[in-house]
Structure 1
Amino acid sequence: MTQRIRVGVIFGGKSGEHEVSIQSGQSILNALDQEAYEVVPIGITRTGQWIVGQQASFALNQATQIELGEQSQYVQQPEANQAATSAAAVVPIGELVPPELVGDFDVVIPVLHGPNGEDGTIQGMLELFDIPYVGAGVLASAVGMDKVFMKKLFAEAGLPQVAYTFCTRKLWETQPARVVQEVEENIGYPCFVKPANMGSSVGISKVKTAKELPVAIDLAARYDRKIIIEQGLDVREVEVAVLGNDEPEASVPGEVIPDHEFYDYEAKYVTGESQLIIPAPLPAQVTEEIRRVAVEAFRAVDGSGLARMDFFVERGTNRVLVNEINTMPGFTRFSMYPKLWEATGLSYTQLLDRLIGLALERSTEKRRSTQNLS
């Protein structure tokens, strides 16, 4: 009998996208082939505690914080079969990582969204422990999370984008008139104000007048020290999924029809009334341009494994503009990324198999590079 691949699925986390990550993690746990993989859930609470084992999903869904009190360093909660992967080890905040994680997995799926998840931090930890993992490496993850540096790399690659500017929270607090002047002279209204390091449309506002701008910047500044302001155009919102390492492929594109004025957090995860049209009803040449630019953008940040590329298609001209890259997109069965691949011919379970294979492939390729200078 072939030995099963031991897969850790990390979900939860300390970011504002905690709930979305739990949903993604649970979908992956339910879909992985139990005959091919030994699957271990790894939950991270909002306060940074790690919960390893089958009770991880239950614990994170039941509470936002686990009180340890005077309990011992690791609290085992054995289930009936007493298997190691059926227990939950709760790790105090002071610990870096559970000992169960180090050196004990063939591959890890860090399905964490937002800061401390897809920004290179968890990826760096996994690199230190030499554990193969699904998705972008440290550099691509960090660049993909920081919208300002992401846009700088896209510009370097010659990719078309909307006009933008940015400021720090400190600059806004000390020189607000300077920030307003920059926006009004170079961006104009309407515009979109966003935290530079946040996903799932958290903290985003559409600003139509000068009166609305300070409120929007204050909101974005709650989530990040860097705020980006982008030109608002009359556009359609189109997304495409990218899969691969050195030879990435793009899926068919899908169009988002939000039930709000734009695709904000509530439209994505609360109302459930936004429409996802797959494939997007676009002219063939526009579809091919989107897929081509998606692969170029993926390569521009040195992406690996997966990414969802978000585009604008300007109404009237069909001009294609790259918006941003999401290196760890939502991964429920109803999320855009897996639905795009399903429409392209790859089922949810097959997609997970491909991603695990790509993670192992990338790890093998990396180990070809010698670290010994002698």
Structure 2
Amino acid sequence: MRIGIFFGGQSREREISFAGGRTVYDNLNKSVFTAVPIFIDSKGHFILLDWQYIYKGTIRDFYPPVNSLPKSELPIQIYAESLRNISNEQWDKLISEVGRKINPSDFHKYIDFAFLSLHGPYGEDGNIQGILEWYGIPFSGAGILPSSIGISKIAQRQFLQQAGFEGPKSIILNKADWDIQPHEIIFQKLKDDIGLPLVIKAPHQGSSIGVSILDEDNLSRFERLIQKSFFELEITTSDWAQYSHEDKVGFIVKLVDIREGIGLPVIIEEEIIYTPNELLQYLNNSISSKKERILLKAIDSEDSLLIESFIEGKEFSCIVIQDENGRPIALPPTEIRKGKDVFDYRSKYLPGISRKITPINAPQDIIEKIRTKCSDLFKALQIDVYARIDGFITDSGKVFLNDPNTTSGMLPSSFFFHQAAEIGLNPSQFLSYIIRTSLQARLKTGKHHFELQKMIKQLDKALEGLKNEAQKKINVGVIMGGFSTERHISVESGRNIYEKLSSSEKYLPIPIFLSGNEDQHELYVLPINIMLKDNADDIKDKIKDYHIHPIIAQIKFESNEVTEKYVASSVTEFQKISYQDLPELIDVAFIALHGRPGEDGAVQAKLEKLNIPYNGSDVESSKITINKYDTNEILRNAGILVADHRLVYEEKWHSNHTTEIEAIEKQLRYPLIAKPADDGCSSAVKKIKNRTELEAFAGMMFRPKADFIEDLANILKLKKNEEFPQKNFFLLEELIEKKDAKYFLEITGGLLTHFQQDGSIEYEIFEPSEALAGGEVLSLEEKFLAGEGQNITPARYTPEHEHYKIVAEQVKNTLKKTAEVLNITGYARIDAFVRVYEDLSAETIIIEVNSLPGMTPATCIFHQTAINGYKPYDFIDKILSFGTEKMKKQTIAK
């Protein structure tokens, strides 16, 4: 069955939609479905997307194509709506670079079914559902009516009140009233009628975009939050005049972010500003004008806001599905424990910022009350297939429901998959359930009845056949977690590997969580519901106190018909194991660990003793590359450029503090880079600009206890919840700069190894990606998390396309030599800076080598492999096949 995955779109949630569409594309069972990616751009064009672009980190990494962008001095990517004066013919040409434009009337030529991974306006409001219904294409999820109600928070609130559901006090604030009435009068009325705190909501946005909480009696803050929800931003010319160039660029970066800023284009006094460059120029010119304030307005705004009273209580989210007979089953509601008042965009999608507790920590009767209320609302809105319903439970036991969503976020750790896992469905199986149940739901319309019945019968037959395939697969132990500061990214990588393999015809993945410490590794086989917890710490907590909650047992019983139909095979039992148990359990291991252990050879040594094949480099090579100082020394001795570097030891720092600082400052000048010398990438990597920051970094690294030292953390501008390791030594490096080069950029390059017929190793070096850091250094989020990083693949070494190959070959040769010198095998990622000179000679300065690179869905190594024709599954298959062949050769040699 050809499944058209509709993703992207015109809303502010397009990046989450894009990442969710990729999740669906990868997790559809390959034995049953053919995935057809249909990307919708921000101008509403339907594009049959070339599959390579699905694996870009963000939409802006590939669309609009780089060669269509206006020249810019600012390193800020834009969306298609910032292109001006583009004719239809030009749009067609632009689209042809990433795929093929198709019309709704031709959908039936390409797809049999539409899986909707769209969010917000044009995706959840009934628009796309109506188009698909008109052209006879069955689609996933709710129909037109519940979608049109579900998109509007104002319509929702009115419906909930009329249907007898309890809710907070609320008032609608119209834009027209806001523009003409005194703001202090509006504020006073809201305080009188609702009281503080106020919850201010943009009614047609999802993912908590345009949502704020005002908890203080402060008129100016009230005005700023109202403006934010109307997608307006005011700046004074005096403030702008005082900004440094870096501050101005930072302001525009935040403004361009459609999730948290107002986005581009913007309207200023009826003039439309399209690009970051134009905006910078306009604001700079405004300094000389007599205007005190400049108001920037988004092209797409809101006409009214919903303002509600704040509900004190536990926040939850509950997925409701239907059984085989169409009856709603509320899955176990998840409690959301936030790091701050609003469960905002970052809290929803970045692991570690908030915690998800499933089921919610409440008495059983309260959990049942929540489930009943959610099921009742599901029925009242006439929703089909599934929905996500959010709400609060107060201390007095009142249930307030406030946001029925007819399309849920579909990232790997989203509520959508998180709660389905509690009844034993992995993502691939849950997607099969959604498709089958959606076909059944479309029968209710009375349209295309015969064709739908035929599709359902064919799908049932295919699903039944899956149960026979499981016995013939290769068992892959996916080892994830660990105890380094990168353990959350490791879990993201491990889950991604698990999901890519679980939808394959060749492999049966078994999730294995590693915990403990360097002296004693602890291994646990995880059931799917534990693997899909929010992050490594949530998994560890579940392991410490593993039991099946009575509510979970009850819901499993209620949904038994569903799981029996869709679960061909999966790990359902929690089990503590040892390394010695692995030969009976797995055929090959995929180590999805980052930092220590994993990249240091410790796990590899255990597996080699058991003759279990594994991914990546061998023990000795891993021991070298985990140590950045040793790696630098070896590469420098081999004639490869690296940064000047120096180790700082705790004992020496404390005993000869002044002498040590003077020696550092004599060898290296500020600014410089400080980082752990023996851990994974981007963890505690900081740009140090002066002696105070150097002392703060050393103080944090050498602190006696794991707790943050607040004063030092503030000096280093550490984010809330940002982890910082404790080590007894760290590495300092010179800051690599442009110097007299014509072009200068940061890159990250992947590679894959193959055995040749004579047994020698061939290195396949991928086209590196150009990494654009949002801050002083590239962060963990920018490297690995969907929608965060900005990567351009292949890297733009020069503006002249004809010069690309000349420079690219030089860079790739250095990356290959680096891999050969360090005896890297399997696959790896190498980070570097590149200086390109007037004569097109290039210097590649190596800064880091990762023997087990991150394999999260958004990591740019998948952008690079796509250019060489490998889908992520193909790349993983190559890695596992190489590891298996390498172990056979080693066994024969013994």
- TM superposition score category, shorter chain reference: 0.7 to 0.9
Report the alpha carbon displacement of residue 284 of structure 1 after superposing the two structures with TM: 0.4
**Aligned residue number for residue 82 of structure 1:** none
1:235 has 2:235 as partner: no
Contact 2:125 2:150 in 1 (8 A): yes
Report the alpha carbon displacement of residue 285 of structure 1 after superposing the two structures with TM: 0.7
Residue of structure 1 aligned with 2:226, choices 199, 217, 220:
217
Q: Counterpart amino acid of 2:223?
A: P
Residue of structure 2 aligned with 1:57, choices 42, 54, 58:
54
Residue of structure 2 aligned with 1:162, choices 147, 168, 174:
168
CA distance in structure 2 between the aligned counterparts of 1:55 and 1:99, rounded to whole angstroms: 25
1:180 has 2:180 as partner: no
Report the alpha carbon displacement of residue 55 of structure 1 after superposing the two structures with TM: 4.0
Contact 1:17 1:200 in 2 (8 A): yes
Q: Counterpart amino acid of 1:36?
A: V
Instruction: Render the CA deviation track for 1:240-277: whole Å, top value 9, x for unaligned.
Output: 10112842211011111112222112222357421111
CA distance in structure 1 between the aligned counterparts of 2:37 and 2:356, rounded to whole angstroms: 30
Report the alpha carbon displacement of residue 168 of structure 1 after superposing the two structures with TM: 1.9
Q: Give the match's secondary structure for 1:266.
A: helix
Distance change (3 Å), C-alpha of 1:325 and 1:248? same
CA distance in structure 1 between the aligned counterparts of 2:378 and 2:170, rounded to whole angstroms: 20
Contact 2:4 2:35 in 1 (8 A): yes
Q: Give the match's secondary structure for 1:101.
A: helix
TM-score (norm 1): 0.87
1:267 has 2:264 as partner: no
CA distance in structure 1 between the aligned counterparts of 2:17 and 2:95, rounded to whole angstroms: 24
Task: Name structure 2 gaps, 5 residues minimum.
Answer: 69-85, 232-300, 450-894
Q: Give the match's secondary structure for 2:159.
A: helix
Q: Counterpart amino acid of 2:147?
A: S
Q: Counterpart amino acid of 1:138?
A: I
Distance change (3 Å), C-alpha of 1:99 and 1:293? same
Report the alpha carbon displacement of residue 155 of structure 1 after superposing the two structures with TM: 1.4
What is the 5 A alignment of 1:78-97?
Answer: 88-90=99-101, 97=103
Q: Give the match's secondary structure for 1:115.
A: coil
CA distance in structure 1 between the aligned counterparts of 2:441 and 2:230, rounded to whole angstroms: 36
Report the alpha carbon displacement of residue 58 of structure 1 after superposing the two structures with TM: 4.7
CA distance in structure 2 between the aligned counterparts of 1:272 and 1:116, rounded to whole angstroms: 31
What is the 5 A alignment of 1:59-208?
Answer: 60=59, 62-66=61-65, 67=68, 73=92, 88-90=99-101, 97=103, 100-102=106-108, 104-177=110-183, 179-208=186-215
Instruction: Render the CA deviation track for 1:45-76: whole Å, top value 9, x for unaligned.
Output: 22333321424525736234254885694789
CA distance in structure 1 between the aligned counterparts of 2:337 and 2:228, rounded to whole angstroms: 25
1:247 has 2:327 as partner: yes
Contact 1:137 1:303 in 2 (8 A): yes
**Aligned residue number for residue 387 of structure 2:** 307
**Aligned residue number for residue 9 of structure 1:** 5
CA distance in structure 1 between the aligned counterparts of 2:33 and 2:60, rounded to whole angstroms: 24
Distance change (3 Å), C-alpha of 1:226 and 1:72? closer
Report the alpha carbon displacement of residue 182 of structure 1 after superposing the two structures with TM: 3.7
CA distance in structure 2 between the aligned counterparts of 1:360 and 1:225, rounded to whole angstroms: 36
CA distance in structure 2 between the aligned counterparts of 1:361 and 1:336, rounded to whole angstroms: 23
**Aligned residue number for residue 441 of structure 2:** 362
Report the alpha carbon displacement of residue 328 of structure 1 after superposing the two structures with TM: 0.6
**Aligned residue number for residue 84 of structure 1:** none
CA distance in structure 1 between the aligned counterparts of 2:448 and 2:30, rounded to whole angstroms: 33
**Aligned residue number for residue 21 of structure 2:** 25
CA distance in structure 2 between the aligned counterparts of 1:46 and 1:63, rounded to whole angstroms: 13
CA distance in structure 1 between the aligned counterparts of 2:372 and 2:16, rounded to whole angstroms: 29
Contact 2:36 2:111 in 1 (8 A): no
Report the alpha carbon displacement of residue 193 of structure 1 after superposing the two structures with TM: 0.2
Q: Give the match's secondary structure for 2:107.
A: coil
Number of corresponding residues = 352
CA distance in structure 2 between the aligned counterparts of 1:115 and 1:290, rounded to whole angstroms: 28
Distance change (3 Å), C-alpha of 1:359 and 1:229? same
Instruction: Render the CA deviation track for 1:292-330: whole Å, top value 9, x for unaligned.
Output: 00011112222112111101011x323211121111110
CA distance in structure 1 between the aligned counterparts of 2:439 and 2:385, rounded to whole angstroms: 10
Residue of structure 2 aligned with 1:340, choices 419, 426, 432:
419
Which stretch has the larger CA shift, 135-144 or 342-351? 342-351
Task: Name structure 1 gaps, 5 residues minimum.
Answer: 79-86, 92-96
**Aligned residue number for residue 356 of structure 2:** 276
TM-score (norm 2): 0.38
Q: Counterpart amino acid of 1:322?
A: L
Q: Give the match's secondary structure for 2:371.
A: helix
**Aligned residue number for residue 94 of structure 1:** none
Q: Counterpart amino acid of 2:366?
A: V
Distance change (3 Å), C-alpha of 1:76 and 1:111? closer
Distance change (3 Å), C-alpha of 1:293 and 1:179? same
Report the alpha carbon displacement of residue 368 of structure 1 after superposing the two structures with TM: 5.9
CA distance in structure 1 between the aligned counterparts of 2:372 and 2:380, rounded to whole angstroms: 12
Instruction: Render the CA deviation track for 1:190-211: whole Å, top value 9, x for unaligned.
Output: 0110101100000111112242
Report the alpha carbon displacement of residue 175 of structure 1 after superposing the two structures with TM: 2.5
Q: Percent identity?
A: 28
Instruction: Render the CA deviation track for 1:120-140: whole Å, top value 9, x for unaligned.
Output: 111111121121100111111
Which stretch has the larger CA shift, 21-30 or 254-263? 254-263
Report the alpha carbon displacement of residue 343 of structure 1 after superposing the two structures with TM: 1.3
Q: Counterpart amino acid of 2:306?
A: I
CA distance in structure 1 between the aligned counterparts of 2:381 and 2:409, rounded to whole angstroms: 20
Contact 1:9 1:110 in 2 (8 A): yes
Higher relative contact order (CA 8 A, sep 6+): 1
Contact 1:103 1:129 in 2 (8 A): no
Distance change (3 Å), C-alpha of 1:229 and 1:333? same
CA distance in structure 1 between the aligned counterparts of 2:91 and 2:343, rounded to whole angstroms: 45
Distance change (3 Å), C-alpha of 1:148 and 1:132? same
CA distance in structure 2 between the aligned counterparts of 1:364 and 1:119, rounded to whole angstroms: 21
Q: Counterpart amino acid of 1:219?
A: K
CA distance in structure 2 between the aligned counterparts of 1:47 and 1:193, rounded to whole angstroms: 28
Which stretch has the larger CA shift, 258-267 or 302-311? 258-267
Report the alpha carbon displacement of residue 176 of structure 1 after superposing the two structures with TM: 4.7
